[in-house]
Amino acid sequence: MLLPQEFIRKKRDRQPLAADEIAAFMRGVADGSVTDSQISAFAMAVYFNDLSVAERVALTHAQRDSGRVLDWRALDLDGPVIDKHSTGGVGDLTSLLLGPMVAACGGYVPMISGRGLGHTGGTLDKLNAIPGYDTAPDTARFQRVVREVGVAIIGQTDELAPADRRIYAVRDITATVESIAMITASILSKKLAAGLQGLVMDVKTGSGAFMPTFEASAELAQSIVDVGNGASMKTVALITDMDQPLAPCAGNALEIACAIDYLAGRARPARLHEVTMALSAQMLIVGGLSPDESTARASLQAALDSGAAAQCFARMVAALGGPADLLDAPGRHLAEAPVRIAVPAPVSGTVERIDCRALGIAVVGLGGGRTRPQDPIDYAVGLSDIAPLGQHVEAGEPLCVVHARSAEAAARAAAEAVDAYVVGEGAAALPPTLHRFVQ
Q: What is the pLDDT of residues 232-277, one digit of tens each?
A: 999 999 999 999 999 999 999 999 999 999 999 999 999 999 999 9
Residue 279: what residue type? L
Mean pLDDT of 22-45: 96
Residue 299's CB: how many other CB atoms inside 10 A? 19
Question: Among 56, 84, 115, 403, which one carries the catalytic annotation?
Answer: 84
Task: Write 72-78 long-range contacts (CB < 8 A, 24+).
Answer: 72/108, 72/110, 72/143, 72/146, 72/195, 75/143, 75/146, 75/147, 77/108, 77/147, 78/106
Question: Among 60, 87, 95, 123, which one carries the catalytic annotation?
Answer: 123
Predicted pLDDT at 177: 83
Q: Is 175 exposed, middle or buried (0-12, 13-18, 19+ CB in 10 A)?
A: exposed
Q: Give, to the nearest 10 degrees, the angle between helix 36-49 and helix 180-193.
A: 120
**What is the DSSP-derived secondary structure letter of residue 117?**
B
Question: Among 56, 64, 115, 190, which one carries the catalytic annotation?
Answer: 190
Question: Among 56, 191, 234, 403, which one carries the catalytic annotation?
Answer: 191
pLDDT in tens, 371-430: 766 778 999 999 999 999 999 999 999 999 999 999 999 999 999 999 999 999 877 789
pLDDT in tens, 413-430: 999 999 999 999 877 789
Predicted pLDDT at 378: 95
Q: How far is CA 329 from CA 107, 252, 257, 326, in A?
A: 28, 17, 10, 5
Predicted pLDDT at 175: 87
Q: How far is CA 249 from CA 8, 19, 360, 415, in A?
A: 46, 45, 10, 17
Contacts of 40 (CB under 8 A, 6+ apart): 170, 174, 176
- Which pTM was predicted? 0.94
Question: Among 11, 64, 126, 171, which one carries the catalytic annotation?
Answer: 171
Contacts of 8 (CB under 8 A, 6+ apart): 38, 41, 42, 45
Candidate from 111-120, 352-361, 401-410 with smallest mean pLDDT: 111-120
Q: What is the SS3 assignment for 200?
A: strand
Question: Among 40, 60, 66, 86, which one carries the catalytic annotation?
Answer: 86
335-424, superfamily in CATH? Pyrimidine nucleoside phosphorylase-like, C-terminal domain (3.90.1170.30)
Residues 92, 246: contact at Cβ < 8 Å? yes
Respond yes or no: is residue 126 known to be catalytic.
no
Predicted pLDDT at 135: 94
Of 271, 293, 201, 245, which Cα lies nearest the Cα of 433? 271
CATH code of 4-64, in short, is: 1.20.970.10
Beta pairing, strands 234-241 & 198-205: parallel
User: Starting at the edge strand that comes first in sequence, how are the strands of the sheet with 234-241 ordered?
Assistant: 82-86, 198-205, 234-241, 434-438
In the predicted structure, residue 18 carries a pLDDT above the cut 80: yes
Predicted pLDDT at 120: 66
The answer regarding whether domain 73-319 maps to CATH 3.80.10.10 reads no
Respond yes or no: is residue 186 known to be catalytic.
yes
* pLDDT confidence tier of residue 212, bands split at 50, 70 and 90: confident
Question: Among 56, 60, 61, 83, which one carries the catalytic annotation?
Answer: 83
Q: Give, to the nearest 10 degrees, the angle between helix 180-193 and helix 214-230.
A: 40
- Where in the chain do CATH 3.40.1030.10 domains reside? 73-319
State residue 191 phi and psi, 5-degree precision: -70, -40
Predicted pLDDT at 97: 98
Q: What is the DSSP string of 120-162?
A: B--HHHHHTTSTT--SS--HHHHHHHHHHHSEEEEEPPTTS-H
Provide the β-strand partners of residue 342. Answer: 401
Predicted pLDDT at 30: 94
Predicted pLDDT at 353: 95
> What is the average pLDDT value for the chain, to the nearest integer?
94
* Rounded Cα–Cα distance for residues 82 and 151 (Å): 10
Question: Among 120, 179, 186, 189, which one carries the catalytic annotation?
Answer: 186
Respond yes or no: is residue 83 known to be catalytic.
yes
Question: Among 56, 61, 85, 403, which one carries the catalytic annotation?
Answer: 85
Q: What is the SS3 assignment for 211?
A: coil
